C-alpha cells in the first residue's frame, strides 16, 4: 500500500483541527472519503485493512478523525459538528487530490453522518455514498426511522450489510433500499455482523470478507464511472 500522508482538517474556529490520513495508490481514479464508527477512530485495524484492500484495487482513501475521538471522549459530538467534519473532510480530499473523483461515507456512525450531511446539502464533488454497515436502528430495537433522510440524498448509495448485523435488520433495510429505487445498491455479506466478522463455522475468514467488501466497492465505482460515460 502507498504510504499514508498525514493531513489536518480545519473544521471550524470553535472546534479546531483534526487529523486525516490520505492513501493514494498510483493510477487511482477514485477517492473514498472514509469516516470511522462511533467507538473507534480512523486508525482502527478494520479501517486500515479497508484502506489497504482498496489501495490494492487502485482506490484512494482519506480517513479522518471526528473531534470527539481526537479528544478521547466516549460521547460523539453533536450532529452539527459531525456533519461539519464530514464537509471539511470532503473539502480536504478535493484539495489534496484534485484529479480524483470523490465518493464518501464510512463505517456505521461515520456513514450515517455523511448521509445526513448530504441530505441537507449535496457534498461538493461527491458522486456517491458508500456505507460499511449502515446503522438503521439501535441493537435489539428494530425500526427504520433512521433511514427517512436518505430520500433527500440525490447521489447513488451503496449499502454493505452483514446478515448478522444487529444494527440493521435486513427485513427493514431492504424496503428502504427498494424505496430509494435505482439510487440504492444493497450488497449483503453472508454471515457477517456489524463489524463484518464471521463465525468460524461459516467456513470463511475475516480476510475473505474484507476482500468481498473491497471488491464490492470497486465494482460499484466502476458502475458509477460507466454511468457517467
State the CATH number of the domain containing residue 46.
3.40.50.1820
Q: What percent of the chain has pLDDT over 70?
A: 98
**Residue 88: pLDDT over 80:** yes
Q: What percent of the chain has pLDDT over 90?
A: 89
Choose among 176, 118, 120, 126: nearest CA to 148. 176
Compute the CA torsion angle 180, 122, 17, 62 (nearest 10 deg): 60
pLDDT at position 203 is 85
Number of domains the chain contains = 1
Do the Cβ atoms of 76 and 66 come closer than 8 Å?
A: yes
Domain enclosing residue 27, as ranges? 5-227
What confidence category does residue 3 fall into, taking pLDDT thresholds of 50, 70 and 90? confident
Do the Cβ atoms of 196 and 213 come closer than 8 Å?
A: yes
- Terminal-to-terminal C-alpha distance of the chain: 29
Instruction: Tell me how far apart the alpha carbons of residues 96 and 7 are, in angstroms, rounded to a whole number.
Output: 9
Mean pLDDT across the chain: 95
**Residue 123: pLDDT over 60:** yes
Amino acid at each position: 500500500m502507498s504510504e499514508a500522508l498525514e493531513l489536518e482538517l480545519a473544521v471550524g474556529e470553535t472546534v479546531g483541527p483534526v487529523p486525516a490520513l490520505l492513501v493514494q495508490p498510483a493510477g487511482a481514479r477514485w477517492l473514498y472519503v472514509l469516516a470511522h464508527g462511533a467507538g473507534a477512530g480512523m486508525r482502527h485495524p478494520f479501517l486500515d485493512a479497508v484502506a489497504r484492500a482498496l489501495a490494492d484495487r487502485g482506490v484512494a482513501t482519506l480517513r479522518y478523525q471526528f473531534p470527539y475521538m481526537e479528544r478521547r471522549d466516549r460521547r460523539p459530538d453533536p450532529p452539527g459538528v459531525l456533519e461539519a467534519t464530514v464537509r471539511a473532510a470532503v473539502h480536504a480530499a478535493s484539495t489534496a487530490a484534485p484529479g480524483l473523483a470523490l465518493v464518501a461515507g464510512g463505517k456505521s456512525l461515520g456513514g450515517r453522518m455523511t448521509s445526513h450531511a448530504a441530505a441537507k446539502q449535496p457534498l461538493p464533488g461527491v458522486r456517491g455514498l458508500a456505507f460499511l454497515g449502515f446503522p438503521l436502528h439501535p441493537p435489539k430495537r428494530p425500526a427504520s426511522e433512521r433511514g427517512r433522510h436518505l430520500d433527500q440524498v440525490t447521489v447513488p448509495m451503496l449499502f454493505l450489510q452483514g446478515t448478522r448485523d444487529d444494527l440493521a435488520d435486513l427485513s427493514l433495510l431492504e424496503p428502504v433500499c427498494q424505496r430509494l429505487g435505482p439510487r440504492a445498491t444493497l450488497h449483503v455479506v453472508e454471515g457477517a455482523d456489524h463489524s463484518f466478522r464471521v463465525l468460524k463455522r461459516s467456513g470463511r475468514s475475516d480476510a475473505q470478507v474484507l476482500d468481498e467488501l473491497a471488491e464490492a466497492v470497486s465494482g460499484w465505482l466502476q458502475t458509477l464511472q460507466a454511468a457517467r460515460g
